[in-house]
Structure 1
Amino acid sequence: MRIALQALVLWLAFTLSAFAVPVRIKDLADFDGVRGNDLVGYGLVVGLDGSGDGMRNAPFTEEMLAGLLERLGVNVTDDALRSKNVAAVIVTAALPPFARSGSRIGVNVSAIGDAKSLLGGTLVMTPLKAADGNIYAVAQGSIIAGGVAAQGDAARVVEGVPTTGTIPAGARVEREVEFDFASVDNIRIALRNADFTTATRVEDAINRDFDRQLAVTLDSGTVVVNFRNLGEVNPARVVGRIENLMIEPEDRAKVVIDHKSGTIVVGERVRISRVAVSQGNLTLRVAEAPLVAQPNPFSEGETVTVPRTDVELRQEPGIGFAEVAGETNLSDLVEGLNALGVRPRDMIDILKSIHSAGALHADLIVE
């Protein structure tokens, strides 16, 4: 069953590669300056049903709760703080490019103390800062927890991760990132997977669509587009036109092996040189079966344990030598090994050995 599933995965991989379709540039690359910014903040979640931080085990929660109450005009002492309905959390968010003041973004909330669950809690006003130390957003709202936890006197059941949660549209942008996109003279297109062939195809597609020398390839991962060659134009409209151009991306030959599931995924361009393969399994089994000997009734003897070990060494039949002709693709090799009854784990070992011999012409990625 596993071999059949593996063969199906390989067939799908080669089928999708053989009928590759053009892809939009916006799905292959990022535009310089058009990027988000990470935000982080430290806040409090209140309203928990006894599943919050223990004040003595999380002193930072106690200090922050006391500071919050003091700012609200309530004077308390440390001994008066015994609530278990409060939890300290780290709040993270991503500020989208060109986000304007007043717009809302989603946030993620994660407990940092010994809280058991954030289910049903409410995040109190939390400033979110960027790497420059400035506050760009403020988060507040009810948390949607990522799991459920139930506890009794002698057992506890946890489903998912109840100590994390999200607040959709839970933060309001208070500060904008200054970037005048309309005044730029050129923009760089950064390919997510650097490749010279793909970069040149992006350059050719842009120049062909605008019917002039507008784009230039700098390296395998960067293409520069010069807006000045178009005269007085709106850069945003030009980028909107460029990102929807279609090209056929190029990729390196790769073989990805997942040891945990025994899955093998290959690329279309994987090739194998002429090589001979032989494989077999050696199994060693050791079993302990101690024998207990007791003395006769009413005798002065002692009960003793006599060790007894069964050792079995078994050589399972292998596939012998099988020759793989030159310029064979990986699909043909796996099909032949499947016909010989090679198990998925053994197939992975064979592919690694072929790669070590220099006959597998691809990047071997083992996860």
Structure 2
Amino acid sequence: MVNKVLVHLLCFIFVLSFEASANTKGSVRLKDLARLASVKDSALVGYGIVTGLAGTGDSTRNSATLQSVHNMLLRFGLNVPTDQVRSRNAAAVMVTATLPAYSQSGDKLDVNVTSIGDARSLVGGTLLLTPMAMSDRDIYAMAQGPLSVGGFSYDLNGNVVQKNHPTAAHIPDGATVDRSVNTAIVNGDGKVVYKLHRPDFETASRIVDSLSRVIGAGNAKALDAARIEIRVPGNKPTELVSFLTQIERIEVVPDSHLMVVVNERTGTVVSGAEVVISPVTVAHGNLNVAISTEYQVSQPFGVGNVIIDSDFAGVRTEVVPKTSINVEEQQTVSVSLPQGSKVSDLVTALNKVHASSRDIITILQGIKRAGALHAELIIQ
């Protein structure tokens, strides 16, 4: 009796676990579908000087580099006229970085350094202290350090050996944040707004339904296809982190977008499992026309062992073209697809008739124009 009860109990647990897994199949956390609208990364940019180059820096034709070196030396009490700067061991560069949200003073940032002059290589260079600012020109970080260049370039007597791009470099942790980023999560109405990575009305509606079951009806609403507004409970103003953690764990089944992605360079076709094709017949055939031309030289005739002079009676050497045309038509192959066929079925059928990747892409475009492909066709 106990064994029977145990068996029934195990079966009941198995059914419950199976139903739970079926219900959560394809579900995605809210944090993977959307982000806080007020939280974003910022771009930083700066202008600096790289020194220590082995004669591969900017030439004297770059007035900006000469002026920059002159201004740098002035800071150290050296007044060297611009026309006296002759060193090719320096180069003018642009420095870029990304400032993440919630960055605090003292955080480290990776920076990218690119040459803007005619420097041949930045290998062995060091970036001097460079202020980095946002679009509002406020300085948020300072960059400095030795460059890491993933390439090289050497030339001698007109011969050049180069690998990758020696005029672009990287400095890991090369910038230090001087100014903290203040990010306001809750707006003046006591609400937070999440923005969907891929706007969709159906997905937004499902998110609101899931949130209403957890935090109560009326506390979440969809402003449009991309934004979800959530009211922060009044009794939890100091527990914002816990509240956001709770709602970001909510799982939602997003509405899928039917699309077929085709890479024309590699011939790769990627489609969703639900992409279907209406009944369609594809007739595929090739007509190859090859035209070749050979040029033959016609020499003037001679008498015995003596060749008639080219000035004699207008006789001269002529180049005579000989053209041949070859037409080859392959037998047309037809492929028929029944109702409910998938893109994978079409590609498999075309591969069986030895259709090339370019032919498959062309056929997919034709099926899309005919209205038989019920998905968005993206060609990369």
* Distance of aligned partners of 1:180 and 1:256 in 2 relative to their CA distance in 1, 3 Å threshold: closer
| Contact 2:39-2:183 at 8 Å conserved across structures | no
Q: Aligned AA for 1:99?
A: S
Is residue 228 of structure 1 aligned with residue 242 of structure 2?
A: no
The 1:20/1:339 distance shift into structure 2, 3 A limit, reads farther
1:129 corresponds, among 128, 133, 156, to 133
Map 1:273-312 → 2, pairs under 5 A: 273-294=278-299, 295-296=301-302, 297-300=305-308, 301-312=315-326
The unaligned stretches of length 5 or more in structure 1 are 1-18
Secondary structure of 1:144 counterpart? coil
SS at match of 1:345: helix
Listed as ranges, the matches of 1:124-273 within 5 Å are: 124-181=128-185, 185-210=190-215, 213-228=218-233, 231-273=236-278
Superposed CA offset, 1:212-259 (max 9, x none) = 543222222111111036544422222233333333332211111111
Letter in 2 for 1:354: I
Match of 1:362 in 2: 375
Q: How many Å separate the matches in 2 of 1:28 and 1:150? A: 48
Q: Please tell me whether residue 352 in structure 1 is matched to residue 365 in structure 2.
A: yes
C-alpha separation in 2, matches of 1:337 and 1:94 = 46
Please tell me whether the aligned partners of residues 150 and 169 of structure 2 are also in contact (alpha carbons under 8 angstroms): yes
Say which SS state the counterpart of residue 124 (structure 2) adopts. Answer: coil
Show the counterpart of 1:101: 105
CA contact (8 A) 2:26 2:253 kept: yes
* Bigger Cα displacement from structure 2, 208-217 vs 142-151: 208-217
Provide the alpha-carbon RMSD of the alignment: 2.0
Task: Please give the per-residue CA displacement for 1:295-330, whole angstroms capped at 9, x wherever unaligned.
Answer: 33413153222210111111122213x322222211
Query: Which amino acid is the alignment partner of residue 304 of structure 1?
Result: E
Which structure has the higher relative contact order (CA within 8 Å, separation 6+)? 1
Q: Which residue does 1:78 correspond to in 2?
A: 82
**CA–CA distance in structure 2, aligned partners of residues 330 and 216 of structure 1:** 37
Corresponding residue SS for 1:360 = coil
Cα separation, 1, equivalents of 2:374 and 2:360: 17
Q: Does the 8 Å CA contact 1:144/1:167 hold for their aligned counterparts?
A: yes
Cα distance in 2, alignment partners of residues 181 and 303 from structure 1: 87
Give the whole-Å Cα distance in 1 for the aligned partners of 2:186 and 2:271: 44
> Secondary structure, in 3 states, of the residue corresponding to 2:306?
coil
Instruction: Answer yes or no: is the 8 Å Cα contact 2:293–2:322 preserved in 1.
Output: yes
Greater CA drift, 98-107 or 199-208: 199-208
Separation in 2, partners of 1:115, 1:237: 52
Contact 2:185 2:192 in 1 (8 A): no
Q: Name the stretch that deviates more: 226-235 or 299-308.
A: 226-235
The change in CA–CA distance for 1:343 and 1:186 in structure 2 (over 3 A counts) is: same
Secondary structure of residue in 1 paired with 2:209:
helix
Name the % identity.
37
Counterpart of 1:288 in structure 2: which amino acid? T
Distance 1:75 1:197, change over 3 A: same
* Equivalent position of 1:313 in the other structure: 327
Q: State yes or no: 1:330 paired with 2:343.
A: yes
Question: How far 1:211 moved relative to its partner?
Answer: 5.3
* Structure-2 change in CA distance of 1:181 and 1:365 (3 Å): closer
* 1:52 equivalent in alignment to 2:83: no
**In structure 2, the residue corresponding to 1:347 is in which secondary structure?**
helix
- What amino acid does structure 2 have at the position aligned with 1:104? K
Contact 1:36 1:94 in 2 (8 A): yes
**Which residue, 52, 60, 65 being the options, matches 1:61?**
65
After superposition, the Cα gap between the structure-2 partners of 1:274 and 1:95, relative to the gap in structure 1 and judged at 3 Å, is same
TM-score (norm: length of structure 2) = 0.86
2:4 aligned partner: none
Q: Distance in 2 between matches of 1:157 and 1:243?
A: 52
CA contact under 8 A between 1:181 and 1:236: conserved in structure 2? no
Structure 2 Cα separation of the partners of residues 101 and 270 of structure 1:
50
Return the index of the structure with the highest Cα Rg.
2
* Equivalent pair of 1:182/1:236 in contact (CA under 8 Å): no
Q: Deviations over 1:46-69 (max 9, x none)?
A: 11111111122x110111110010
Shift of 1:278: 0.6
Indicate how the Cα distance of structure 1 residues 217 and 180 shifts in structure 2: closer, same or farther if over 3 A, else same: closer
Give the letter for the 2:322 counterpart: R
- In 2, distance between residues paired with 1:115 and 1:326? 62
